[in-house]
Amino acid sequence: MTERTFAIEKVGKWSLIGLRVAGLCLAGYLLFSLSAHSLSNLLDVASVIIVVGPILLICGLLKWRYDAPAAPLIYALGTPLGLLGVSVGLVFMFSYMSDLQALAPATAVLLLTALYGGVVSGLGYLFLQPQKTSMPIIPKRLALICSLPIALVTFFAVLQAPWVLFGESGEVLSMGALVLILSLVTPTSHSLLKRITNSTMYVVLILTILGVIDLAGIGATTAYADADAYLKGMSKIYLSINTGLLIYLVCIVWSIATGDFDEIDFGRMNWHLVEAFSLIVLITISPPSLYHFVS
């Protein structure tokens, strides 16, 4: 290949990338123009940090050290990071129901992290090239370093109220023990990390159903008049789901170190997470149910 041919191909490649970026910007503008609110109402610094911060650090580090493809990582990490913000935002929202000034930022984190997570994962999917996205295996020490941004974001997100994540009882320990037990008793045809990932998703989905039943039962017995009972039930279930999301996020990062990244269908798992959170968010912040009107 001559230098002239190589230069032409390089210019053509960058021209194609430029057209794709311009197309995405135009599509984003048209999409947001359909909203009833201005674009400024959809911007929140805290939500951007929760979703975009860890992705930029992890993708940048792996791209720099191992030339790892960024699109699969963005596709895998965007949705669970967004849903982690949803979970934290919901608990904060119910914690500060009596303080309207604190309620608004919590609601913004709840809604906008979901939006940002979906948009980021969507961008990763658009740039995904299945035939060319083999993920390199990284050392375990680098996987540990890549886990730090997730830990830091989680720490600062719950810094004002650590019980949001860790709780005053044993939800976190119970969740971790449950995932570990299911991972050990399932067939060993898959690697341990893949079994942990599958078990985490299974437990999160089951806990979501149980949480919906618990919240509906509390609402039915109290006619939605006992905010403390409702908050206690909601906090318990969200503490468990928060733990599951953190385990899942760590599994995504560590699957690069174990060589399991390409073997796990993160797109399917993220879709299951969206289904679970759609259900639990609906029952949490939806209008009063039939029980309330009957009572």
For residue range 97-119, what is the model confidence (pLDDT) as tens digits?
666 666 767 777 777 888 888 88
Q: Are residues 187 and 264 in the same domain?
A: yes
Compute the distance between CA of residue 110 and CA of residue 95 in angstroms, rounded to an integer. 13
Residue with tokens 């967004």: 82
Mean pLDDT calculated for residue range 154-160: 68
* 289 and 274, same domain (yes or no): yes
Whether residue 183 is found in the same domain as residue 47: yes
Residue 253 is predicted with a pLDDT of: 92
Q: Are residues 54 and 120 in the same domain?
A: yes
Do 34 and 72 sit in the same domain of this protein?
no
What is the count of structural domains for the chain? 2
As a whole-number percent, the residues of the chain with pLDDT over 70 amount to: 69
The CA distance from 195 to 76, in Å, is 17
Q: Tell me the residue range of the domain where 17 lies.
A: 1-42
In terms of Cα–Cα distance, which of 292, 200, 43 is closest to 192? 200
Q: Are residues 19 and 63 in the same domain?
A: no
Cβ contact 158:165 at 8 Å: yes
Q: Band of the pLDDT at 49, cuts 50, 70, 90?
A: confident
CB 112 within 8 A of CB 280: no
Structure tokens at 206: 């089951």
- The pTM (predicted TM-score) of the whole model is 0.81
- Whole-number mean pLDDT of the chain? 77
Residues listed for the chain: 295
Instruction: Quote the CA–CA distance of 161 and 145 in Å, as a whole number.
Output: 25
Examine the domain organization and report whether 195 and 289 are in the same domain.
yes
* Number of neighbouring beta carbons within 10 Å of residue 120: 20
Start-to-end CA distance of the chain, whole Å, equals: 79
Asked whether residue 171 falls in the same domain as residue 187, the answer is yes
Nearest to 250 by CA among 178, 173, 197, 210: 197
- Whether residue 172 is found in the same domain as residue 187: yes
CB 48 within 8 A of CB 116: yes
**Closest C-alpha to 114, from 284, 277, 280, 279:** 277
78 and 13 housed in the same domain: no
Residue 199 has pLDDT above 70, yes or no: yes
Instruction: Tell me if residue 137 falls in helix, strand or coil.
Output: coil
